[in-house]
Amino acid sequence: MNFFVGIARFRIDLVTCSSLKEKRHFVRSIVDRIGNSKIVAVAEVGDKDFWKSGVIGIACVSSSREVIMKAIEGARRTIESSGVDVVDAEQWVLKPEDL
């Protein structure tokens, strides 16, 4: 059985947030919307103590590389539709033997 693992990390710029509390609420809403897709696991994975930036991590497992690429792109569109800028993005699609 062949399957792929997709991993992505998005660094976002939160210029509209004016406090850590506001940032956490804003990032939580993005994470919840992405997580509703049921095909990816998502979490805030960095810059947790900075209120002007954040890092969101995505993971996905599928038997199809294309499904993973669509899921990661959909997550990026969800982030960008929230009104934040993605300032850096990294993504990998690996086979288990690559790990």
At 88 the pLDDT is: 93
At 98 the pLDDT is: 73
Dist CA 23 CA 52 (whole Å): 7
Q: What is the pLDDT of residues 31-69, one digit of tens each?
A: 999 988 788 999 999 887 888 889 999 999 999 999 999
Q: Which CATH superfamily is domain 4-98 in?
A: TT1725-like (3.30.70.1120)
3-state secondary structure the chain: CCCEEEEEEEEEECCCCCCHHHHHHHHHHHHHHHHCCCCCEEEEEECCCCCCEEEEEEEEEECCHHHHHHHHHHHHHHHHHCCCEEEEEEEEEECHHHC
